[in-house]
């Protein structure tokens, strides 16, 4: 098992991102958990406001409330976790017939964030510390944090993404306590 982990999400400087205007109507976060995912539709439609102009950027990882992978990033993830249940999302423009597909992997929720973790502005993980004995042998998983759920990626998966030129990804190294 790799012993390096990262918080993974969308790079905030990778903009302008598409503005999702009705995600909560189409996708229920409580149904994106193991054992509950059968309640969420296999494919959901989410409207995007003014998103198909030449300046809008579609990152390979989007975590605007819900963690999603582009099709290309999902192909890499599938090499590491082929049995993961997924849901699909079509991002549709209001005034366009174009659509972008993203995949929502139904990730394990693991309580492995140490009490020694520090937060900035009371919400965001500043110095993340994971409890080593609680970390699962999986490439990607969720941890509960003050601001909801954060997604953690194992080093080998992160390296695979970066070697293949995935864009719009933000990484923050985590420490392990034993």
Residue 100 in contact with residue 90, Cβ under 8 Å? Answer: yes
pLDDT tens-digit profile of 96-152? 677 889 999 999 999 999 999 988 876 778 899 999 999 999 999 999 876 678 999
| CA gap 176, 178 in Å, rounded | 7
pLDDT at residue number 162: 96
pLDDT tens-digit profile of 61-111? 999 889 999 999 999 999 999 999 999 999 887 766 778 899 999 999 999
Which candidate, 119, 136, 139, places its Cα nearest to that of 128?
Answer: 119
Q: State which residues form the domain around 43.
A: 5-177
Which candidate, 90, 92, 113, 111, places its Cα nearest to that of 43?
Answer: 90
pLDDT at residue number 2: 47
Where are any strands of DSSP class E within 43-98?
43-49, 61-62, 68-70, 86-93
Residue 137 in contact with residue 1, Cβ under 8 Å? Answer: yes
Direct distance between the N- and C-terminal alpha carbons of the chain, in angstroms, rounded to an integer:
14
pLDDT tens-digit profile of 35-61? 888 889 898 888 887 655 667 889 999
Q: Give the H/E segment covering residue 142.
A: strand 140-145
**Phi/psi of residue 71, nearest 5 degrees:** -60, -40
Provide mean pLDDT across the span 163-172: 95
Give the three-state DSSP class for 45: strand
Cα→Cα distances 144→106, 111, 125, Å: 15, 7, 11
pLDDT at residue number 1: 45
When the pLDDT of each residue in the chain is averaged and rounded to a whole number, the result is 88
Looking at the structure of the chain, the number of domains it has is 1
pTM of the model: 0.88
- Assess whether pLDDT exceeds 80 at residue 28: yes
């Amino acid at each position: 098992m790799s012993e390096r982990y990262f918080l993974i999400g969308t790079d905030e400087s990778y903009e302008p991102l598409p503005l999702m205007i009705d995600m909560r109507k189409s996708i229920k976060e409580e149904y994106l958990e193991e054992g509950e995912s059968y309640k969420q539709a296999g494919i959901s439609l989410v409207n995007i406001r003014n998103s198909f102009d030449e300046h809008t950027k579609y990152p390979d990882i989007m975590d605007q409330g819900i963690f999603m992978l582009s099709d290309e990033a999902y192909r890499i993830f599938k090499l590491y976790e082929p049995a993961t249940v997924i849901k699909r999302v079509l991002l549709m423009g209001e005034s366009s017939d174009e659509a972008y597909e993203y995949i929502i992997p139904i990730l394990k929720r693991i309580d492995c964030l140490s009490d020694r973790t520090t937060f900035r502005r009371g919400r965001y993980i500043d110095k993340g510390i994971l409890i080593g004995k609680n970390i699962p042998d999986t490439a990607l998983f969720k941890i509960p944090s003050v601001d909801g759920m954060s997604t953690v990626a194992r080093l080998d998966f992160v390296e695979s993404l970066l070697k293949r030129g995935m864009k719009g990804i933000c990484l923050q190294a985590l420490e392990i306590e034993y």
